[in-house]
Amino acid sequence: MSAAFMGVAQAARLLAQGQASSVELTTEFLSRAKAHESLGAFLHLDAHAALEQARAADARRAAGLGSGSQGAVVPGGALNGVPIAHKDIFVTEDAPTTAGSKMLQGYRSPFDATVVARLKAAGAVSLGKLNCDEFAMGSANENSAYFPAKNPWDEGRVPGGSSGGSAVAVAAGLVTGCTGTDTGGSIRQPASFTGITGIKPTYGVCSRYGMIAFASSLDQAGPMARSAEDCALMLTAMAGFDERDSTSAQRPAVDYSAQMLTPREGAPATQPLKGLRIGLPREFFPAALAADVDAAVRAALSELQRLGATLVDVTLPRTELSIPVYYIIAPAEASSNLSRFDGVKFGHRATQYGDLLDMYKKTRAEGFGSEVKRRIMIGAYVLSHGYYDAYYLQAQKLRRMIADDFQACFRQCDVIAGPVAPTVAWKLGQGSDDPVQAYLADIFTLPASLAGLPGMSVPAGFGEGGMPVGLQLIGNYFAEGTLLHTAHALQQATNFHTKTPEGLR
Ligand code: GLN
């Protein structure tokens, strides 16, 4: 049996039943990752470390069976032996961490990020670290200081970003699933561009401890995988309160797989979404929306209707404002967060310099790429005395209004739906000289980020050039279960999520 394109849930089942060993699966994924190295998914692939973890997982399972574990408890953990990988924005003690930046080339963390530690505790095997835009700033993975990642559906196109390497690894079947982070769309947009499933939970659900900070009031981790079922399984392991993150949500542990499977009250089996009201914000279907994206999204919505959901018109009047608001708040926080990279404590230090100030300047001039520098400058500007009130404070006020607009919608509907991005994945190199153009393409993912709401991208078919299109689902705070349930119902009825790129099988 081939492990290619095997998902998290399927791998976990086969491993738990003893129908495959982790060493077998890990070996196959490693050889696929090696064979498709030119896609640029991995910044660091470590066969030796992965196989060591796989052997340990197989041993745990053997020991678990021997000691008579039974029932729902999977020996070694719910993801025991399942091959995954991490976006290189999570610090890991077993592998270097770069955040896609030259600044952290050769950096090794003395500890694991909480999300990494939790997946490890659930038994998952990590193949290595995945490519991303430098410090997660970007929408195409072209701001990686190392190399761009290529979209497996068309290697001449971008996979989206900033979690581009994560999206490529899943879409090309190099891992069963992986971690990503989303500050303004970085899980949802690359998932949409590569035809995979990704969920950004409510702000506070996954710990930010050990996730290299970009914009702390927005940063959130989440799984990227082949299906809602896979995402639910991973998220259950990843989520939970962490006292080392001051904004971690203090809530009891959640079984997202169980929530995903819980039937809606009164809904018949043929209409599992009966009673679900899906709100369509008119601002998410503007005239400028690409026709192919519009068509795929509307077809998916009709499918949801067929499954029993009702569609209602809603409005998010400040959708357009979310672009300037985000591109003030995120750089402001970034300029502060990135001040720690000064050549003293972390990573790169210039070799030739005069005094201390000169060392700081040369180190930062050499270590950061141009997009990161642009954001540090914008951030420092909007926070500076004299401009703070005009920009940063205004943006904060508007952010609150954007969140209030969502609450008004959720009085009329249970889930909000629309496109993830205005177009399918664009050509490599196409957006690189106009940053504002790239910022504008974030329009549909930024509102939920600013409000701190959970958002998901679910494969909805294909558009121009055979490129995947994602349907975005946005839920109210902590309604991840509703999103996963809706996506799962769609995936039980359609097969967009099972499609894989030609030539990579
Ligand atoms: N594209 C957005 C940006 O460049 C979002 C990135 C992210 O979510 N990390 O900031």
16-45 pLDDT per residue, tens? 999 999 999 999 999 999 999 999 999 999
Q: pLDDT band for position 71 (50/70/90)?
A: very low
Top mutation candidate among 130, 139, 142, 420 for ligand 1, by most atoms within 8 Å of CB: 139
Cis peptide before 162 (omega within 30 of 0): yes
Ligand 1 centroid from CA 137, angstroms: 5
From 433, 501, 457, 475, select the one nearest 160 (Cα to Cα): 457
User: For residue 368, how far is its CA from the centre of ligand 1 (angstroms)?
Assistant: 17
> In which region does residue 465 sit, left (phi positive, over 0), alpha (psi from -120 to 50) or beta (all else)?
left
- Give the pLDDT confidence of 347-403 residue by residue, as tens digits: 999 999 999 999 999 999 999 999 999 999 999 999 999 999 999 999 999 999 999
Q: For residue 333, give both structure tokens.
A: 């926080």
Our mutation pick for probing the ligand 1 site, out of 132, 137, 212, 371, counting the most ligand atoms within 8 A of Cβ, is: 137
Cβ contacts of 309 within 8 Å, gap of 6 or more:
273, 274, 276, 277, 278, 486
On the question of pLDDT at 298 being above 80, the answer is yes
Give whole-number Cα distances, 54 to 6, 202, 432, 495, in Å: 16, 32, 40, 31
Separation in Å, CA 304 to CA 225, 228, 271, 456, 488: 21, 15, 9, 15, 11
Model confidence, pTM: 0.97
- Residue by residue, DSSP assigns 405-461 as HHHHHTTT-SEEEEESSSSS--BTTSSTT-HHHHHHTTTTTHHHHHHT--EEEEEEE
Mean model confidence pLDDT for the chain: 96
Q: Under 8 Å CB-to-CB from 204, ≥6 apart: which residues?
A: 220, 247, 248, 249, 452
Predicted confidence at residue 434, as pLDDT, reads 85
CA of 133 to the centre of ligand 1 (A): 9
If you measure from the C-alpha of residue 45 to the centroid of ligand 1, how many angstroms do you get, rounded to a whole number? 25
Atom 5, ligand 1: which residue's CA is nearest?
184
Q: Is the dihedral of CA 459, 462, 463, 466 positive or negative?
A: positive
Furthest CA-CA distance within the chain: 74
Residue 333 CB–ligand 1 contact under 6 Å = no
CA distances from 29 to 22, 154, 403, 419 (A): 10, 21, 41, 32
> What sign for the dihedral angle of Cα 400, 322, 203, 336?
negative
**Could you tell me if the CB of 10 is within 6 A of ligand 1?**
no
Q: Which of 208, 335, 442, 444 to mutate to test the pocket of ligand 1 (most atoms within 8 A of CB)?
A: 442
Q: What pLDDT does 67 receive? A: 40
Backbone angles phi, psi at 444, to 5 degrees: -90, -15
Helix (H, G, I), strand (E, B) or coil at 362: helix
Q: Which residues are catalytic?
A: 87, 162, 186
Q: How far is the CA of 63 from the centre of ligand 1 (A)?
A: 44
Q: Is the pLDDT of residue 70 over 50?
A: no
Q: What is the pLDDT of residue 117?
A: 98
Ligand 1 touching residue 138 (CB < 6 A)? yes
Q: Within its chain, how far is the Cα of 160 from the centroid?
A: 11
| SS3 of residue 10 by DSSP | helix
Mean pLDDT of 262-277: 96
- Cα gap 69→61, rounded to integer Å: 10
Residue 73 has pLDDT above 80, yes or no: no
CATH number of 8-259: 3.90.1300.10
Cα–Cα–Cα angle for 367, 440, 373, rounded to 5 degrees: 15
